[in-house]
Amino acid sequence: MQQSGGDIVCRLEHVDKVYEGAVPTPALLDINLQVQRGEFLVVLGASGSGKTTLLNIIGLLDTPTSGKVWIAERNAEQMDEEERAALRSRYMGFVFQFHYLLPEFTVLENALLPCKIAGKQVEEQNRELVKELLHRVGLGDRLNYRPSQLSGGQQQRVAIVRALANNPELVLADEPTGNLDSKNGFAVFEMMRFMNRQTGTAFVVVTHDERLAQEADRVVVLEDGRIVKDMLQRPAQTHEL
């Protein structure tokens, strides 16, 4: 279910992250970032620049050392673990470099997993949405296949549909095309762009591929934990399903 929450899906203010250890490692420094509803934002940056750390903080999988995080206009600091988990599962979707599909489940079952995790039984409404999304990404005739019977690009498309299964406001994707050749990578990226335009779900996509960045509404470049560029390429479009 989409939740109301204004036009800002996430906001970071003066966020620092230092990984503690024998030698403390600074990973993010004074990050100020706001993601609008329906926006398609690409995060570029060299290895070690803090991209995954940033997604983990937005995704409420990690907490900043200092600074403030708002998701759905709620202050993350004031949420307990249960609220964070609920917001993660209802408001956000995640796509990783390796798709982590469950081999013993079919395409349809895999894509429906977030609905199961969100509690209750899978509602007919979600099942229909997921089937429709699978059709739109060209997998309508593969609903009962197992992941091992699909190509790498097809598997990643299932993972993208899975991220959209709960009709989230925000999808966080960490190098979703990093494991694919350039042709399949581009097709998967185009799929996310298409889904963003169709559903109005905001996307934050981490990539190393500058070619893909040209397709984004906005590009943020990280260097040694700092935002060194924040370029608006075109205004976000919002279309509800």
Ligand X SMILES: Nc1ncnc2c1ncn2[C@@H]1O[C@H](COP(=O)(O)OP(=O)(O)OP(=O)(O)O)[C@@H](O)[C@H]1O
Q: Interface residues with ligand X (CB under 6 A)?
A: 19, 21, 25, 27, 45, 47-53
Query: Least Å distance between CB 26 and ligand X?
Result: 8
Q: Which two structure tokens, joined as six digits, stand for 3?
A: 């939740």
CB nearer ligand X, residue 19 or residue 194: 19
CA torsion sign, 6 to 157 to 144 to 148?
negative
Query: Least Å distance between CB 173 and Mg ion?
Result: 11
The single-letter code of the amino acid at 107 is V
Query: Least Å distance between CB 57 and Mg ion?
Result: 13
Residue 39 CB coordination number (10 Å): 25
Owner of token pair 């409420």: 60
Distance of CA 197 to the CA centre of its chain: 15
Residue 66 CB coordination number (10 Å): 10
CB nearer Mg ion, residue 47 or residue 121: 47
CB nearer Mg ion, residue 61 or residue 143: 61
CB nearer ligand X, residue 166 or residue 207: 207
Length of the chain measured in residues: 241
Residue nearest to Mg ion (CB): 52
Query: Least Å distance between CB 21 and ligand X?
Result: 6
Query: Least Å distance between CB 105 and ligand X?
Result: 28
Q: Which two structure tokens, joined as six digits, stand for 115?
A: 């609905």
From the list ligand X, Mg ion, none, which binds 103 (C-beta under 5 to 8 Å, kind-based)? none
Please say whether the beta carbons of 53 and 69 come within 8 A.
no
Query: Least Å distance between CB 133 and Mg ion?
Result: 26
From the list Mg ion, ligand X, none, which binds 50 (C-beta under 5 to 8 Å, kind-based)? ligand X
Q: Exposure of 52 by Cβ count < 10 A (0-12 exposed, 13-18 middle, 19+ buried)?
A: buried
CB nearer Mg ion, residue 54 or residue 92: 54
CB nearer ligand X, residue 83 or residue 223: 223
DSSP string, 21-65: SSS-EEEEEEEEEEEETT-EEEEEE-TTSSHHHHHHHHTTSS--S
Q: Provide the mask over 45-74, with x wherever binding to Mg ion is found by CB under 5 A and - wherever it is not.
A: -------x----------------------
Residue 152 CB coordination number (10 Å): 15
From the list Mg ion, ligand X, none, which binds 53 (C-beta under 5 to 8 Å, kind-based)? ligand X
Q: Which residues bind Mg ion (CB under 5 A)?
A: 52
